[in-house]
Structure 1
Amino acid sequence: MTTRAFVSAFRDALTRLASPPADQMRYLTALGTADLLDELALEFDGYFVPLAGELRRRAPRCESLCRRLDGMLDSDTLGWRFDDLGSDEWSEIRSVAVEAVVAFDEAYGGARMDRFDDAVSWGSATRTLSLFTFWPRSAGGAVPAIRFAPQPDSVRTYELEDLESFYPEFVCFEYDLRFSELPDEVEDALGAYLSQAVGAGAVIAWFGYEGTFHFANILTRSGARDIYGVADASGAELRVNETRRSPAEWADVIESFAFRAFGARPGGGRYLKWGE
């Protein structure tokens, strides 16, 4: 695993510690760990220990918070069953993990524009913008036609199957817009593409980095960093240049779009702000 991929995987593990109990249970159930929480701690520890030195140099606040998490997860009084996720100890773990994710983003992503350029090129000459869209199930199973302008060199389309029926009232399609060179005014183009998707009938549409999509983590605060544009009937919002909006402000934006589209998390519960 490359250093960049390892650091990204560490953030994913940290994000899972920061996620609401329902999201944590869905993740662990999908892994097949039964009624056990151990994997959340094992994943975190497996990435944090090798990265501790780098974090101490590059993201000292994140490293300090992670050391605190490490101690909390080693507590003799901490429960390790699904029912224990509602305890004060696990609530405090999630709260500290949220702070650690924000500190990580500020150190690794918040001050850099090149993350977008790196992520859409994947080390190749082709730039790929991945557009994710939700449509009413009544629209049918055919891939909805979207007239993209400015026109990409090519468009690949995929139906993303919601096998666990997190969103039974919707169908989801991914459109990979491929370019040899991105449009000169890339933010204007992204805004146009989002508006064109909503204009074609999508309930909500967003651009996200490839490999970050998962039905159990749709438009959540913890996944906001991996989204660089979102739109619904109310309009579009963008965060291509990560310096223009803080991670917390962007998470608020993503949360507001999620609430308008879905009203609640899959399986129940409102889209709450952290700490509420």
Structure 2
Amino acid sequence: MTADLASGLRFAAQPVVSVFVPGVPARVPEFADGDVVPVAVQAYSLERDDRYACVTEYDVVFDELPPLLHRYLTHCLRVACAAGETVVWLGFEGSFHFDQLLTEANAPQVYGVCAPGGEPVVTPDLRTLATPQWRLLVAAHRGLLGGGSWSGR
């Protein structure tokens, strides 16, 4: 994993991994993985003004990012996908907007995705985020969100 992705995970100088899960998961994902234990996990409910859409954002906070970052990010996607039983993604701070959930335009702000029954996919570096292949991969996961109220936006 190149250092440039790690540099994008710093918010206010503290490393933060933001995991997005549509709806409210039945249980909080277990973000600890062996010796890798976050300093804190903060949950935020992101809601629109209508009653149909909610996304839970988990900010997984560290003093130092895990040395095997790609492996840890894969773990985050796997446990969040299992807890939410839906498509989940990793996004940079400030990337969330209901009208841009997993769109091609928003793909450069999404650095990992996972769908139920699938394997997590994490970008190897920031350059990959600008490729047509990455935009298509992210948009394909949007199509897997199902019939939620955001599917036609």
Relative to the length of structure 1, the TM-score reads 0.48
SS in 2 for 1:200: helix
Q: Is the 8 A contact 1:229 1:240 kept in 2?
A: no
1:214 aligns with 2:97: yes
> Would you say the 8 A contact 1:133–1:173 is kept in 2?
yes
Task: Report the Cα distance in structure 2 between the residues aligned to 1:146 and 1:267, rounded to whole angstroms.
Answer: 24
* Amino acid paired to 1:260: L
Alignment of 1:256-275 (within 5 A): 256-262=140-146, 266=150, 268=152
Q: How many residues of Structure 1 are paired with residues of Structure 2 in the alignment?
A: 148
Which residue, 94, 107, 110 being the options, matches 1:227? 110
Query: Post-superposition shift, 1:186?
Result: 0.4
CA RMSD of aligned residues (A): 2.5
Question: Equivalent residue for 1:117?
Answer: 6
Deviations 1:17-61 (A, max 9, x none): xxxxxxxxxxxxxxxxxxxxxxxxxxxxxxxxxxxxxxxxxxxxx
Choose 1 or 2 for highest CA Rg. Answer: 1
| Superimposed CA distance per residue, residues 214-258 of structure 1 (whole angstroms, 9 cap, x where no aligned partner) | 111110000000001011112211114134575211001001111
Identity %: 25
Aligned to 1:75: none
Residue pair 2:108, 2:129 contacting (<8 A) in 1 also? no
- Please give the TM-score of this superposition, normalised by the length of structure 2: 0.83
Gaps of 5+ in 2: none
Give the superposition deviation at 1:267.
Answer: 7.2
**1:263 Cα offset (Å):** 5.7
Matched, 1:130 2:14: no
Q: Does 1:180 align with 2:63?
A: yes
Secondary structure of residue in 1 paired with 2:43: strand
CA change 1:267–1:148 in 2 (3 A) is: closer
CA gap 1:263/1:240 in 2 versus in 1, 3 angstroms:
farther
Higher strand share: 2
Establish whether residue 197 from structure 1 lines up as the match of residue 86 from structure 2.
no
The one-letter code of the counterpart of 2:6 is D
2:19 maps to amino acid: L
Q: RCO (CA 8 Å, sep 6+): is it higher in 1 or 2?
A: 2
- Distance in structure 2 (CA, Å) of the matches to 1:146 and 1:114: 26
Alpha-carbon deviation of 1:268? 3.5
Q: Is the 8 A contact 1:132 1:174 kept in 2?
A: yes
> What CA distance in whole angstroms lies between the structure 2 residues aligned with 1:200 and 1:265?
21
SS in 2 for 1:253: helix
Find the aligned partners of 2:57 and 2:40 in 1 and give their Cα distance: 14
Contact 2:112 2:121 in 1 (8 A): yes
Please state if 1:155 is matched with 2:44. no
Q: Which runs of 4+ in 1 moved over 2 A?
A: 113-119, 242-246, 262-269
Higher helix share: 1
